[in-house]
Amino acid sequence: GAGVSQSPRYKVAKRGQDVALRCDPISGHVSLFWYQQALGQGPEFLTYFQNEAQLDKSGLPSDRFFAERPEGSVSTLKIQRTQQEDSAVYLCASSLGLGGGQSEQFFGPGTRLTVL
Amino acid sequence: AQKITQTQPGMFVQEKEAVTLDCTYDTSDQSYGLFWYKQPSSGEMIFLIYQGSYDEQNATEGRYSLNFQKARKSANLVISASQLGDSAMYFCAMTRPNRGSYIPTFGRGTSLIVHP
């Protein structure tokens, strides 16, 4: 079956541009997470959805970051007025169960964002 | 605040030998989960093994086992009979309860190189 997919795989943006990153989770997965992974670091939690509800957005670094999952499946992470420090790999993960307690998370390949 | 520490930036092991990757954590929660993920150069995170804080037995999954020492707050990953395909980054993660869900915190990772 299909895994988690993300698009685009690579994105180059000029500083100040807006970008939108898409995540297609595994069908039927209730939970969806977004992470930011800087070079040489582990993933940092950004936000979590349970179906269409955004239950935790404590990891979003600024109000320039916005995420949505309007129908409880596909999710979009939007970054407005991109800055160079936003350059990173953005990972999406989904899981069948609620939250990340015992449920294995299935990760997408990530979107590598480079802000010039 | 929850914290995951992986003190080994890089490890080398000879093919067919066992290797232990260290992970210590810090939390005041009684209920938490511990995960290990593998990230090959392709970038996709792959779930390896899970240990719940109330599990008395160490988790095992094939060649992977988790050496869980709760009093020491350590959750080391043991890979037996290393294979060349095990060369990758390995991340330890802990989930913490937050409003009905569990939010993961990842360590900085350990780079494992298996040589023939």
pLDDT digit string (tens) for chain B, length 116 residues: 669 999 999 999 999 999 999 999 998 888 889 999 999 998 889 999 999 999 889 999 999 999 999 999 999 999 999 999 999 999 999 987 776 677 889 999 999 999 99
Per cent of chain A over pLDDT 70 is: 95
CB contact under 8 A, A99 and B42: no
Distance of residue A43 Cα from the nearest chain B Cα, in angstroms: 6
Selecting from A44, A48, A104 the residue whose C-beta is nearest the C-beta of B50 gives A104
Q: Does B116 touch chain A (CB under 8 A)?
A: no
Sign of CA dihedral A15, A86, A33, B109: positive
Cα separation, B16 vs B114, in Å, equals: 9
Predicted confidence (pLDDT) at residue A99 exceeds the cutoff of 80: no
- Phi/psi of residue B7, nearest 5 degrees: -85, -10
Cα separation, B42 vs B44, in Å, equals: 6
Q: Which of B85, B86, B76, B81 is nearest to B36 (CA)?
A: B76
Q: Does B30 touch chain A (CB under 8 A)?
A: no
Would you state the pLDDT for residue B1? 62
Selecting from A44, A59, A102 the residue whose C-beta is nearest the C-beta of B50 gives A102
Mean of the per-residue pLDDT values of chain B: 92
Would you state the pLDDT for residue A101? 61
Tally the C-alpha atoms within 13 A of residue A100's C-alpha that lie toward its C-beta. 30
Predicted confidence (pLDDT) at residue A71 exceeds the cutoff of 60: yes
Cα separation, B75 vs B68, in Å, equals: 5
